[in-house]
Chain A
Amino acid sequence: DTEVTQTPKHLVMGMTNKKSLKCEQHMGHRAMYWYKQKAKKPPELMFVYSYEKLSINESVPSRFSPECPNSSLLNLHLHALQPEDSALYLCASSQDLGAGVNQPQHFGDGTRLSIL
């Protein structure tokens, strides 16, 4: 079991659908991250939130829309995705961004997304 909870674990959607991925942590961490991971590849950073504000957007297409409603929750809204967006989407949190990757990140087990 992880301290970062992601739902759903699996999601299949069509290219015209709108869906959301959810991530929750109760460790009091103030930095939260979204990553995308394709099969047999390393995770790729998508977004970083610090104190509920978007700090980094790694040039992610607008069909991915992050949201941080409060310090414990992180959402990723999906709309009009393409088949190449099929991947494992990982959420992570860390204590804060003061020392960046000097703060170990805690990862959830991801949402396996398939776009039909």
Chain B
Amino acid sequence: LAKTTQPISMDSYEGQEVNITCSHNNIATNDYITWYQQFPSQGPRFIIQGYKTKVTNEVASLFIPADRKSSTLSLPRVSLSDTAVYYCLVGDTGGFKTIFGAGTRLFVKA
């Protein structure tokens, strides 16, 4: 199973772009990279998923270099409500296990 490493915490200000990088050196060929957001006392919420290059949806972008050993979640123009924990997950090639990394606590200040 590919282990993920993320910064423990990050601070930002409203309106800034935030980039959170996740390292996954042992990612397997069939693995996808998935990011979740979690607010206190709520379950994680799916943000974005990708395999290679760049994926963009209405809330975020995901950048994955060619070697796929890392990925970067980009949140454009964050607001106070983006204060949360962000988890990077890499898929198990067996397709069953889900292992959350430690997550990154993002604090957005006014």
Identify the A interface with B (CB < 8 A): 2, 4, 33, 42-45, 48, 55-56, 58, 88, 90, 92, 97-102, 104-110, 112
Which residues from chain A contact B90 at a C-beta distance below 8 Å?
A: 101
Interface residues of B in 82-110 (CB under 8 A from A): 87, 89-103
Kindly state the separation between the CA atoms of A48 and B98 in the bound complex, as whole angstroms.
10
Kindly state the separation between the CA atoms of A110 and B43 in the bound complex, as whole angstroms.
6
- Minimum CB–CB distance for A111 against chain B, Å: 11
Known contacts A102-B32, A102-B91, A104-B49; is-contact A45 B42 (Cβ 8 Å): no
- Minimum CB–CB distance for B33 against chain A, Å: 9
Kindly state the separation between the CA atoms of A45 and B100 in the bound complex, as whole angstroms.
9
**B81 an interface residue at 8 Å Cβ cutoff?**
no
Which residues from chain B contact A109 at a C-beta distance below 8 Å?
A: 41-43
Kindly state the separation between the CA atoms of A43 and B103 in the bound complex, as whole angstroms.
10
Compute the total of residue contacts between A and B using a CB distance below 8 Å: 70
Q: Please tell me if the beta carbons of A101 and B41 are within 8 angstroms of each other in the complex.
A: no
- Minimum CB–CB distance for B42 against chain A, Å: 5
Partner of B43, one of A4, A45, A58: A4
Q: Please tell me if the beta carbons of B100 and A42 are within 8 angstroms of each other in the complex.
A: yes
- Minimum CB–CB distance for A4 against chain B, Å: 7
Could you show 16 A-B contacts with beta carbons less than 8 Å apart?
A42-B87, A42-B102, A45-B98, A45-B99, A48-B96, A55-B96, A58-B97, A97-B95, A100-B93, A100-B97, A101-B34, A102-B34, A104-B49, A105-B98, A107-B43, A110-B42
- Minimum CB–CB distance for A5 against chain B, Å: 11
Name 6 extra pairs, CB < 8 A, besides A100-B92, A101-B92: A42-B100, A42-B101, A101-B34, A102-B91, A102-B95, A105-B98
Interface centre among A4, A101, A104, A107 (most CB of B within 10 A): A101
Q: Please tell me if the beta carbons of A101 and B43 are within 8 angstroms of each other in the complex.
A: no
Q: Please tell me if the beta carbons of A99 and B100 are within 8 angstroms of each other in the complex.
A: no
Interface residues of B in 30-63 (CB under 8 A from A): 32, 34, 41-46, 49
Which residues from chain A contact B102 at a C-beta distance below 8 Å?
A: 42
